[in-house]
Amino acid sequence: MGGTEIFWIISCVAVAAFAQSIAGFGFGLLAVPMMQLVLDPHDAIVVSTLIGAVSTTSQALLDRKSVDKASVKRLTIASYIGMPFGLLVFVFVSDSVLRLTLGVVVVLAAVVLSRGFTLKDGSHYFDWVLGMMSGVLATSTSTNGPPIVFVLQARKMSPPEFRSTINTIFSFANLGAIALFLSTGKVTMHSFYGALVALPALFLALRIGYAIRPRVSADFFRKLVLIMLVMSGVSLLLKVLL
């Protein structure tokens, strides 16, 4: 791995980790498309998953007091059900099809949320369906955030509860994805080294993000989440169409 690749990975991780520390999600959505400018798509997905596991687990532990344990349990189990299917997609489906599908889903989710879509507390159907979809995306694209964001935002969680819950779910999901990648030989020394050298940038970005977070209002937070969803979806679509 050359110096240019290392510098770019570190830069991608710093930007993605900072955004995630504020919004609660977005690491894979930002890091994977950016990393693919210099890395093979499959290497980018594995590197993002490895470093993302460290990021989400760290934040889940720091914010554990606000976690919604019931949502974590349902969505984590559902994600694990979907992961083996995502691994098959990772191996056999083309990158362009994955990006196009994910881009359309992300933009539609943002539009629905912006129109005030909500979920009743007793309705868990979407948790299981979108949780499984998130699991498929976790092992196929490392961008498993949108379905989980949709569910938690639709339940009108407060920013602290949203961040804590989503990072706990992502932590379990990333660890499960890594186990599957290891079992199929997808984690190479090349990708492991790429994740390792980015750790200092990850923790620095998280520290800065946590310092800024208290100044972010709930209204601004919700708008930021929607903007990030739209931007990530559009970027994926443009990458396929242009």
Write out pLDDT tens, residues 169-182. 999 989 998 998 89
How far is residue 142's CA from residue 232's CA, in Å, rounded to a whole number? 13
The answer on pLDDT for 193 being more than 80 is yes
How far is residue 181's CA from residue 48's CA, in Å, rounded to a whole number? 12
Q: Is 26 exposed, middle or buried (0-12, 13-18, 19+ CB in 10 A)?
A: buried
How far is residue 116's CA from residue 222's CA, in Å, rounded to a whole number? 11
Among 32-41, 109-118, 121-130, which is the least confidently predicted range? 109-118
How far is residue 106's CA from residue 185's CA, in Å, rounded to a whole number? 30
Which residues are CB-neighbours of 36 under 8 A, at least 6 positions away?
44, 239
For 194-232, give one letter per residue: b (16+ CB within 10 A) or e. Answer: bbebbeebbeebbeebeeebeeeeeeebbebbbebbbbb
Provide Rg for the chain, Cα atoms: 16
Q: Is 122 exposed, middle or buried (0-12, 13-18, 19+ CB in 10 A)?
A: exposed
CB 21 within 8 A of CB 206: yes
The answer on pLDDT for 114 being more than 80 is no
Tokens of 230: 């739209």
The answer on pLDDT for 112 being more than 80 is no
Among 82-91, 111-120, 128-137, which is the least confidently predicted range? 111-120
The answer on pLDDT for 121 being more than 80 is no
Which residues are CB-neighbours of 88 under 8 A, at least 6 positions away?
none
Which residues are CB-neighbours of 160 under 8 A, at least 6 positions away?
63, 66
- The pLDDT assigned to 172 comes to 92
- Answer with the residue of higher pLDDT: 102 or 52: 52
The answer on pLDDT for 82 being more than 90 is yes
Write out pLDDT tens, residues 1-13. 678 889 999 999 9
- The pLDDT assigned to 119 comes to 67
Mean pLDDT of 86-91: 85
- The pLDDT assigned to 120 comes to 66
Q: What angle do CA 137, 50, 201 make, to 5 degrees?
A: 120
Which residues are CB-neighbours of 159 under 8 A, at least 6 positions away?
24, 216, 218, 221
- The pLDDT assigned to 92 comes to 83
- Answer with the residue of higher pLDDT: 139 or 197: 197
Write out pLDDT tens, residues 14-37. 988 998 888 887 788 778 878 877
Task: Supply the mean pLDDT for the chain.
Answer: 85
Running DSSP on this structure, what letter comes out for residue 141?
Answer: T
pLDDT bracket for residue 237 (50, 70, 90): confident
Instruction: Report CA dihedral (36, 181, 174, 19) to the nearest 10 degrees.
Output: -10
- The pLDDT assigned to 1 comes to 67
Mean pLDDT of 133-142: 84
The answer on pLDDT for 157 being more than 80 is yes
